[in-house]
Amino acid sequence: MSASRRVVVDASALLAWVMRERGSDTVDAVLPYAVAPVSALVETLYRAPELGHGLTAAHLHRDLVSMGLQIEPVTEADAVRAADLIAQSRRSHGGSLSLGDGLCLAVAERLKLTVTGNDQFWETLDLTVDYRPFR
């Protein structure tokens, strides 16, 4: 049986771990209990080689899953909530969430889990879950 899930991680957290950047130790500690939306996985798998990581997408995927990371599909309800969050960010806060960030936040809300990332802007949004930066 897998460990209970406690946190949703975004692509910036996964990339920090893959690239061994500042904050990677924090991400390493939560990976066995973490969930990543499939959108965050995709972003991680294509961005890591762009940043100089040498492994293929398949190898990176295998490494992340072997650490305990659970990949979560995105639902239609997540898409609707992500659209609302993105619109809210543009309307009310002078910033703009990306599609991947909106989906990450929507999945965290659906699963009722804390979300971690590297965007302080998330603290200004009207979320139903806690946001904790990993750096």
Q: Flag whether 84 is in a domain.
A: no
pLDDT at position 1:
31
Q: Flag whether 11 is in a domain.
A: yes
Express each pLDDT in 58-80 by its tens digit: 999 999 999 999 999 999 999 99
> DSSP assignment of 82-93, as one string?
HHHHHHHHHHHS
Q: Flag whether 54 is in a domain.
A: yes
pLDDT at position 96:
80
Express each pLDDT in 11-44 by its tens digit: 999 999 999 999 999 999 999 999 999 999 999 9
Residue 109, pLDDT > 80, answer yes
Q: Flag whether 99 is in a domain.
A: no
Q: Flag whether 1 is in a domain.
A: no
Supply the range of the domain harboring residue 39. Answer: 7-72
The pTM for the full model equals 0.92
For residue 52, give the 3-state DSSP assignment. Answer: coil
Count: domains in the chain:
1
| CB atoms inside a 10 Å sphere around CB 10 | 28
Q: Flag whether 34 is in a domain.
A: yes
Q: Flag whether 86 is in a domain.
A: no
